[in-house]
Amino acid sequence: MDNNRSGGNSRRKRKSRPKAGAGNQNGRSGRRPRGPRQKHNYKPIDAELMVHEAVPMKKVKYIADQKFDDWDLHPKLKIAIRQAGWTYPTEIQEKAFSSIVDLRDVMGIATTGTGKTGAFLIPLIDALLKDEPFQTLVLAPTRELALQIEQEFVTLTKGMTFTALSLIGGRNINTDIRNLKRDYDLIVATPGRLKDLHGQGKIDLTEASVLVLDEFDRMLDMGFQKDVTFLADQMGDREQTLLFSATLDKSQQQLIDRFLDNPVTVKVSSGEASAEHINQTVRYVAPDEKFDELINLLQEPDLKRVLVFAETKHRVKKVTKKLNQAGIPADEIHGNKSQNYRQKALAKFKQGKIKALCATDVAARGLDIDNITHVINFEAPTDYDVYIHRVGRTGRAGKTGEAITFVDK
């Protein structure tokens, strides 16, 4: 593959960055109206779908054609990449590079942990160094993923003057409004917070020329389709759109066609969620015995780093409390917890300071945590795709994972 850029003429248009207070004054905040809570209809999936003996993964290491040093990148970017400890590009980084440089719309099918953030940041930063200024807007489904993208941008622009801003829920919106008085080369946001700011007239989305939709399938899973479509429409004519998704669902094609213009498709995996390499078992437990069963399980030495899923925020809170009372270090992440709290809980889990992290499906979206030994479904999920996403948190990097689901008897 030839990763050399055609020299000479800049192909990017100069676009000024957003002006403070320049957005749509009449936009709606996108907040859900207050009203009575809907009763939770709990119908778990068939238990037989959650029993499976793992098939060991055959790990095939991707060998890139060139090192980053061989690419026609700006010298400052090469230094930053080297300092980050990157030598060879991942498959998605190598395959997507030329198309992004050529300003083609790209649809990348790649899962978390494949280097997809670097796949779009490297060519965009290179263009910032070589071409006229432009702004990129990245939409991500979760606060955690948005912060990861912002941090990776900071890492890859070390020693440069480029700036990034994350706009996410769980933080004081007035802080975001103050921050938006400055100029930024990259804005990464969750759809809800960005729509709120746009509705208040604090950001003009027409000033961003590149749109990146990261973990697009998860944004749809979380009900952000209308928000994402609305925000993309407010940008007007875009120079380029990059869409990354772990799965490719034919039912989403019409929506994808709305965002992308004659895209190049880059596929580095099957694009289909799989749990073939995970031992999956069910335990039939009486509802009033579930807590005791969970506590007994977590006292086993083989369960070292465990992600526990429950269906509701209230249940997650209760499970966490019971585990701590039993002397099992645990913490929780769900929508009622602040961003700062969630970040601290994740840090404790990654550092091994707690054994169990209890979560709702939405709170766990976008998390990239290595070496999770077990996933426990305190309650069986109501959707098989949700189940696959849950258990897929274990058994990464070619390892065999373990998933246990409690089923009411």
Domains and CATH numbers, the chain: 47-56+276-408 (3.40.50.300), 68-267 (3.40.50.300)
pTM: 0.65
| Contacts of range 286-292, beta carbons closer than 8 Å, 24 or more positions apart | 286/408, 286/409, 287/408, 290/378, 290/406, 291/319, 291/322
What pLDDT is attached to residue 309? 94
What pLDDT is attached to residue 30? 39
What pLDDT is attached to residue 369? 77
pLDDT tops 70 at residue 23: no
Do the bridges between strand 186-189 and strand 210-213 make them parallel or antiparallel, or are there none, so unpaired?
A: unpaired
Residue 190 CA to residue 168 CA, distance in Å, equals 5
pLDDT tops 90 at residue 79: yes
What pLDDT is attached to residue 269? 58
